[in-house]
C-alpha cells in the first residue's frame, strides 16, 4: 500500500510540472492582477464609474489591505502637518496680540501713527485667526471627510462585485419584493412612520427660535428661483409618503447644503443650487431631506431632548464661534458666509442625521425621485461632485450632514436595482438650466448682499481678504498596488 502511494504521488508531481511548464494560462488570474492598473488611481474616479469597473477588476485582499494601511498613514501625516501649522499660527496670534498690548500701553497720545499701527495689528490678528479657523476645519473635519470618501471607494472596489451578485439573485428569486418598504407601487398610500403631524409644532418652534437667534440666513429674495425650487420640492412631496404640508425656503447662503427640520420645513441654500449640475441631482438631495421628515428621524433621535435644549446648545457653540473661542472652526463661515453653517452649530439630532437614518433616507429618497420620474442615481452623482470639490470647508459642510460610507452607496444602488425600470428618466430640464443661468447673472449682487448682512462677528474694516483655506489636496500617485 505504501509503495502504491509513492508511485501515485510521483505521477501526480510529474503531471503538475508538465502542466505548469506547457500551459501557463492556468495561472492567468495572477497575470490579470499584475497587469491591472494600481488601486490608487481608481480612488479618484466617481462612485458611479467604480460601480461599473469593480466587477471587471481583480485585486487580492492583501493589495486592498496595503492601500488601507497606506491611507491611514497618509491621513495621520496630513493631520500632523496641519497640527504643526496650527501651533505655529497660534504662536503668531499670541505674539501679535502681545505687540498690540504693548502698543496700547506705551502710546500716551492717540496719534495718527499709533492708529495706523493698531489697525495693521488688528488686520494681522484677523487674518491669522481666519487662517487658524480654516486649519481647524481641515484638521477636525476636512481631512477625515476626504479619507472617508477614499475608504468608501476602496470598500466599493473590494465588496461591490459580491454585493452585485447578491442583488441579482434577490431579483431573480423574487425576494426583492419582500424587502423593507418594497411596496413602491403604493407610495403615498403607506405609512412609513405614524404621527408625522405631531412634528409640525416642534419644527415651528425650532424655526422661530433659530430666527430669533440669527441662526438662519436671510431668504433669497428672488421669486423666480424660489418658485422653481418650491415647485420641484412639492412635486417630490406629492410622490412621497409625506403626510404634512411641505414648506420650502431658499436661503441666500453660499454654503453648499440643504436641511430639513421636523414637520416638513425644508431649507435649500443657493450654494447647493449653484453646485448641482442637473435637475436629477437637485431632486435627489431634496428627496433625501424630505425622507428624514417622512421617517421622523429627528423625533426618533431626540426622544430625551427638547428643541429648546438643542437650540440653546447650538447658540452656545455659535457664541464661541463668533467670539473666536475654542469652537473657532466656524469662524470661516462667519467671514465667508455671513453666518456659521447650521451643520457645524446644530446638533445632528435635530437634523435626524445618523448612519442608520442616512441609509433609510437614501432608500426612501431613491424611491421618491423614481416615482417623480427622475433618474434616482442623481443623489450619488452629487456625492461625486462634492467628493471632487477642491477646498475642505465646502466638503465639510455637505459631508458632515451627509456622511459618505460604503454601506449607504451600496444601499442606494441596491434599491435602484430593485426599482421597476423607467422608460425615460428625467436627468435635466431647460428650466433647471435657466435657473442656473439666472443665478449666475445675479450672483455678484447676491454675494454683495450676503457679505454686507449684519453679523455678530466683529471685523476690522479696511483689511485685505484673508488667505484662501488650505486646499483639499489630492491622493498622491504611487507605484502600482
SS (H, E, C) the chain: CHHHHHHHHHHHHHHHHHHHHHCHHHHHHHHHHHHCCCCHHHHHCCHHHHHHHHHHCCCCHHHHHHHHHHHHHHHHHHHHHHHHHHHHHHHHHHHHHHHHHHHHHHCCCCCHHHHHHHHHHHHHHHHHHHHHHHHHHHHHHHHHHHHHHHHHHHHHHHHHHHHHHHHHHHHHHCHHHHCCCCCHHHCCCCCCCCCHHHHHHHHHHHHHHHHHCCCCCCECCCHHHHHHHHHHHHHHHHCCCCCCCCEEEEECCCCCCEEEECCCEEEEEHHHHHHCCCHHHHHHHHHHHHHHHHCCHHHHHCCCCCHHHHHHHHHHHHHHHHCCCCCHHHHHHHHHCCCCCHHHHCCCCCCCCCHHHHHHHHHHHHHHHHHCCECCCHHHHHHHHHHCCCCHHHHHHHHHHCCCCHHHHHHHHHHHHHCCCCCCCECCCHHHHHHHHHHHHHHHHHHHHHHHCCCCCCCCCCCCCCCCCCCCCCCCCCCCC
Per-residue model confidence (pLDDT) at position 312 = 60
Stretch among 173-177, 384-388, 459-463 having the lowest mean pLDDT: 459-463
Over residues 207-226, mean pLDDT: 85
pTM: 0.81
Residues 439 and 445: their CA atoms lie apart, in Å, by 10
End-to-end alpha carbon distance in the chain: 49
- 368 confidence band (pLDDT: 50, 70, 90): very high
Stretch among 198-212, 220-234, 245-259, 293-307 having the lowest mean pLDDT: 293-307
Give residue-wise pLDDT tens across range 381-402: 998 998 888 777 667 778 877 8
Residues 167 and 175: their CA atoms lie apart, in Å, by 10
- 343 confidence band (pLDDT: 50, 70, 90): low
- 479 confidence band (pLDDT: 50, 70, 90): very low
Give residue-wise pLDDT tens across range 72-96: 999 999 999 999 999 999 999 999 9
Q: What is the dihedral of CA 352, 358, 361, 366, to 10 degrees?
A: 150
Per-residue model confidence (pLDDT) at position 301 = 81
**Is residue 30 predicted with pLDDT exceeding 60?**
no
User: Measuring CA to CA, how many Å separate 321 from each of 324, 327, 335?
Assistant: 5, 5, 11
Chain mean pLDDT for the chain: 82
Per-residue model confidence (pLDDT) at position 34 = 36
How many C-beta atoms surround the C-beta of residue 231 within 10 A?
Answer: 12
Give residue-wise pLDDT tens across range 98-122: 999 999 998 878 899 999 999 999 9
**Is residue 24 predicted with pLDDT exceeding 50?**
no
Over residues 344-360, mean pLDDT: 78
Stretch among 118-127, 171-180, 396-405 having the lowest mean pLDDT: 396-405
**Is residue 334 predicted with pLDDT exceeding 60?**
no
- Measured at the CA of 156, the angle between CA 153 and CA 162, to 5 degrees, comes to 170
**Is residue 317 predicted with pLDDT exceeding 90?**
no
**Is residue 198 predicted with pLDDT exceeding 90?**
yes
Q: Which of 119-123, 203-207, 344-348, 371-375 has the highest mean pLDDT?
A: 371-375
Q: Which three cell numbers stand for residue 249?
A: 425656503
- 457 confidence band (pLDDT: 50, 70, 90): low
Q: Decide which of 47 and 4 is more confident.
A: 47
Per-residue model confidence (pLDDT) at position 472 = 47
Q: Which of 69-73, 175-179, 338-342 has the highest mean pLDDT?
A: 69-73
Per-residue model confidence (pLDDT) at position 215 = 72
Give residue-wise pLDDT tens across range 219-275: 999 999 999 999 999 999 999 999 999 999 999 888 888 999 999 999 999 999 999
Over residues 413-423, mean pLDDT: 93
Over residues 201-214, mean pLDDT: 84
**Is residue 454 predicted with pLDDT exceeding 60?**
no
Q: Decide which of 195 and 332 is more confident.
A: 195
**Is residue 310 predicted with pLDDT exceeding 80?**
no
**Is residue 412 predicted with pLDDT exceeding 70?**
yes
Per-residue model confidence (pLDDT) at position 474 = 46
Per-residue model confidence (pLDDT) at position 292 = 95
Sign of torsion, CA 140 141 142 144? Answer: positive
- 448 confidence band (pLDDT: 50, 70, 90): confident
- 478 confidence band (pLDDT: 50, 70, 90): very low
Amino acid at each position: 500500500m505504501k509503495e502504491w502511494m509513492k508511485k501515485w504521488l510521483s505521477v501526480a508531481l510529474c503531471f503538475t510540472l508538465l502542466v505548469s511548464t506547457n500551459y501557463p494560462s492556468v495561472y492567468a488570474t495572477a497575470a490579470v492582477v499584475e497587469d491591472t492598473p494600481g488601486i490608487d488611481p481608481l480612488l479618484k474616479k466617481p462612485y458611479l464609474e467604480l460601480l461599473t469597473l469593480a466587477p471587471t477588476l481583480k485585486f487580492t485582499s492583501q493589495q486592498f489591505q496595503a492601500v488601507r494601511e497606506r491611507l491611514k498613514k497618509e491621513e495621520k501625516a496630513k493631520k500632523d502637518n496641519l497640527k504643526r501649522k496650527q501651533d505655529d499660527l497660534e504662536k503668531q496670534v499670541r505674539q501679535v496680540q502681545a505687540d498690540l498690548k504693548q502698543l496700547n500701553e506705551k502710546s500716551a497720545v492717540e496719534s495718527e501713527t499709533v492708529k495706523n499701527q493698531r489697525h495693521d495689528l488688528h488686520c494681522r490678528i484677523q487674518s491669522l485667526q481666519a487662517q487658524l479657523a480654516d486649519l481647524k476645519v481641515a484638521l477636525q473635519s476636512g481631512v477625515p471627510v476626504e479619507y472617508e470618501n477614499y475608504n468608501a471607494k476602496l470598500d466599493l472596489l473590494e465588496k461591490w462585485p459580491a454585493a452585485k451578485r447578491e442583488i441579482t439573485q434577490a431579483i431573480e428569486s423574487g425576494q426583492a419584493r419582500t424587502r423593507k418598504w418594497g411596496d413602491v407601487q403604493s407610495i403615498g398610500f403607506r405609512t412609513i412612520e405614524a404621527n408625522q403631524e405631531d412634528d409640525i409644532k416642534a419644527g415651528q418652534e425650532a424655526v422661530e427660535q433659530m430666527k430669533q437667534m440669527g441662526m438662519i440666513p436671510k431668504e433669497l429674495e428672488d421669486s423666480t428661483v424660489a418658485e422653481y425650487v418650491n415647485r420641484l420640492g412639492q412635486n417630490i412631496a406629492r410622490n412621497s409618503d409625506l403626510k404634512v404640508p411641505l414648506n420650502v425656503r431658499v436661503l441666500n447662503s453660499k454654503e453648499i447644503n440643504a436641511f430639513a427640520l421636523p414637520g416638513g420645513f425644508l431649507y435649500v441654500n443657493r450654494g447647493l443650487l449653484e453646485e448641482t449640475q442637473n435637475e436629477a441631482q437637485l431632486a435627489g438631495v431634496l428627496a433625501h431631506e424630505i425622507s428624514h421628515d417622512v421617517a421622523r428621524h429627528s423625533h426618533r433621535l431626540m426622544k430625551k431632548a427638547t428643541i429648546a435644549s438643542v437650540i440653546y446648545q447650538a447658540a452656545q457653540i455659535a457664541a464661541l464661534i463668533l467670539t473666536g473661542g475654542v469652537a473657532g472652526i466656524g469662524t470661516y463661515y462667519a467671514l465667508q458666509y455671513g453666518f456659521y453653517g447650521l451643520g457645524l452649530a446644530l446638533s445632528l439630532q435635530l437634523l435626524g442625521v445618523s448612519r442608520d437614518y442616512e441609509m433609510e433616507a437614501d432608500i426612501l429618497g431613491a424611491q421618491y425621485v423614481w416615482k417623480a420620474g427622475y433618474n434616482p442615481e442623481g443623489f450619488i452623482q452629487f456625492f461625486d461632485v462634492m467628493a471632487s470639490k477642491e477646498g475642505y470647508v465646502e466638503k465639510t459642510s455637505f459631508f458632515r450632514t451627509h456622511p459618505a460610507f460604503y454601506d449607504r452607496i451600496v444601499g442606494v444602488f441596491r434599491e435602484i436595482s430593485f426599482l421597476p425600470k423607467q422608460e425615460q428618466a428625467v436627468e435635466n430640464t431647460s428650466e433647471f438650466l435657466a435657473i442656473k443661468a439666472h443665478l449666475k447673472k445675479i450672483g455678484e449682487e447676491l454675494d454683495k448682499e450676503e457679505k454686507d448682512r449684519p453679523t455678530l462677528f466683529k471685523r476690522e474694516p479696511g483689511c485685505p481678504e484673508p488667505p484662501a483655506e488650505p486646499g483639499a489636496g489630492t491622493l498622491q500617485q504611487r507605484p502600482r498596488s
